[in-house]
Amino acid sequence: MLIKNQRKSALSLEEPLLHPDHARPKTRREFIAQGFMAGAATLSGASLFNLLTPQAAYALSEELENRKPECGIRTVGGGKVPFICFDLAGGANIAGSNVLMGKQGGQLDFLSTAGYNKLGLPGDMLPNQPQFVNQEFGLAFHSDSGFLRGMQDSTSIGARALINGAIIAARSENDTGNNPHNPMYGILKAGADGELLSLVGSQSSESGGNSMAPMNLINPKARPTKVDRPSDATGLVDVGDLTSILSQSDAVSVLESIRNISLDKLNLNAVNTGLANDAAVKSQVDCGYIKSAHLIEEYGNPAAVDPSLDTKIVGDSGIFSTAEFFANDRLGREFRKTASVMKLVQNQYAGAGTITLGGYDYHTGERATGEARDYLAGRCMGACLEYAHRTETPLMLYVFSDGSVSSNGRIDDSQGGRGKGEWTGDNQQTAASFYLVYNPTGRPVARNQQIGFMRSDGSVETSSSPAANNVNQLVQTIVLNYMALNGQEGEFENVMAGHGLGNPASRNRLVGIEPIS
């Protein structure tokens, strides 16, 4: 008697991905990619000595004002477009079933039926049928994309009308955090910065995410601060009980008095630390008091950076309902993580941030698991875009993953599978990245909505752009696009010396969106 192969059941968002063709996860990155780890928070609050940042002290003394640059204190952000990237750990599908990718002629230069079949789309859902193309966000998505449905549920119609983007054909290795995908250090070099700190990331790693950062861009002094929940954000400015005992102004005065006593001891009594860098050590101690005073004056109430208290984010009129934001499940955890990073970046407390979502190695022999996780990613991406709309600030939102997946064409006709092809294996040939830009003054103008292209069979044409087969050059391409948004395209050579993107004329095809005001 013949026994038919039965389709596997879809996994819940809480369940890890177990693949018989994968070794047991051993590293942090492998646990994240397969969904065993969602990321636990580490409180970022520092001691009074470390939290320091001046402006309170400055108000009372011209000398303190002059010491501000010396102490490394920022009172404004970098003045650049805020930047958030999503690191979908494990190898998510991006091209075809989510964002449309075409041949040399662009997104709507359609692939073959077999090519779309490999990208998880059956013959009756091909984008060469107009009903399966959605351009609400400027960039063309498949109309039944999980990303798209999630973004639609998190954004208003008004926000969608002010967004555009580009997709980039870009192969990368499957199931590894060793791809140097993360561009945040390059974005920092291009001028992004924040009032409190430069970079934040939801993972405690050198890059702030699951994937690595290019080694030649890493700046140890700007290592991302780990933020993946509201308490991490408020911990950045938590000064303990000082402001509950004293008023903000009194607390500032106390710190200034302590600072003056300290200076008397160091200078008037000619204390010598015995160190070769005696003057530098004394300067650092003094900066500590100055920074603390500034921190209390500017952020004496940690509610200023708490996303859970921001009615634009949480509540009856918020992006997330109170119930879903505080839910003790994966949805709640991912929403809190996203909100914490976007609150800091969009308000220019940080210059750029990475949000890692785990469990995107979803070639589980069915489609429903991948659809649910794509929808979750879309909700989180859409939240960032909608918050940009509500705060009337621009945003560049970049999405990448380590590798990708492909389908063998078998259809998952379950409710969750939505009649699409099952994801049956890793496939770096189908990989891509994309970005979206929100501009509060009008929809961004596209120069090239597709960078590089696919062959008719659904595989990346590796010669189609420098980014197509080189992850380091993919990061360079993202930095180029970020600088173009900020009107700095002509400065690219200075910021990214030794890049592999060619001369200015050849780089024109690598820029997706024109500068925004």
- Assigned token pair, 492: 């690219």
Distances (CA, A) of 22 to 19, 31, 120, 172, 252: 5, 12, 22, 18, 56
pLDDT-based confidence at residue 252 (cuts at 50, 70, 90): low
Average pLDDT of 89-116? 98
The pLDDT value recorded for residue 57 is 38
47 has pLDDT over 90 = no
Smallest Cα–Cα separation from 34: which of 20, 17, 19, 22? 17
Lowest mean pLDDT among 43-57, 102-116, 201-215, 351-365: 43-57
pLDDT-based confidence at residue 2 (cuts at 50, 70, 90): very low
- Assigned token pair, 95: 């091209």
137 has pLDDT over 80 = yes
258 has pLDDT over 70 = no
The pLDDT value recorded for residue 34 is 63
Distances (CA, A) of 423 to 7, 437, 441: 12, 29, 40
The residue among 21 and 10 whose pLDDT is bigger is 10
The residue among 22 and 231 whose pLDDT is bigger is 231
- Assigned token pair, 43: 């409180």
Average pLDDT of 373-384? 98
The residue among 63 and 498 whose pLDDT is bigger is 498
- Residue 462 region, left (φ>0) first, then alpha (ψ -120 to 50), else beta? alpha
Average pLDDT of 243-261? 55
70 has pLDDT over 80 = no
Question: Which residues does residue 226 pair with via DSSP β-bridges, in sequence order?
Answer: 201
List, in sequence order, every beta strand (DSSP E) within 420-514: 420-426, 432-438, 450-451
The count of C-alpha atoms lying within 13 angstroms of the C-alpha of 136, restricted to the half-sphere facing its C-beta, is: 20
Average pLDDT of 370-392? 98
pLDDT-based confidence at residue 11 (cuts at 50, 70, 90): confident
- Assigned token pair, 180: 């140097």
CA 507/CA 486 separation, integer angstroms: 16
Smallest Cα–Cα separation from 82: which of 505, 487, 501, 486? 486
493, amino acid identity: E
Q: Give percent of the chain above pLDDT 70.
A: 74
**Pairing state of beta strands 450-451 and 432-438?**
unpaired
- Ordered by start, the domain boundaries in the chain are 83-107+116-235+308-498, 238-304
**Exposed, middle or buried by CB within 10 Å (0-12, 13-18, 19+), for 156?**
middle
Smallest Cα–Cα separation from 381: which of 341, 319, 338, 323? 338
What is the pTM (predicted TM-score) of this model?
A: 0.82
3 has pLDDT over 60 = no
Q: Give percent of the chain above pLDDT 90.
A: 69
Average pLDDT of 478-498? 97
Helices (H), 237-313: 242-245, 248-263, 278-299
The pLDDT value recorded for residue 53 is 41
The pLDDT value recorded for residue 235 is 87
The pLDDT value recorded for residue 175 is 72
48 has pLDDT over 90 = no
Average pLDDT of 369-395? 98
33 has pLDDT over 50 = yes
Across 64-68, 298-302, 478-482, the highest mean pLDDT is recorded for 478-482
The residue among 21 and 470 whose pLDDT is bigger is 470
**pLDDT averaged over the chain?**
86
Distances (CA, A) of 95 to 83, 167, 428: 22, 8, 11
CA 215/CA 289 separation, integer angstroms: 34
pLDDT-based confidence at residue 9 (cuts at 50, 70, 90): confident
Average pLDDT of 55-76? 56
CA 88/CA 377 separation, integer angstroms: 8
22 has pLDDT over 90 = no
For residue 90, give every residue at least 6 positions away whose Cβ sits within 8 Å of its Cβ, in sequence order, or none.
17, 32, 33, 34, 35, 175, 358, 359, 360, 361, 362, 401, 402, 403
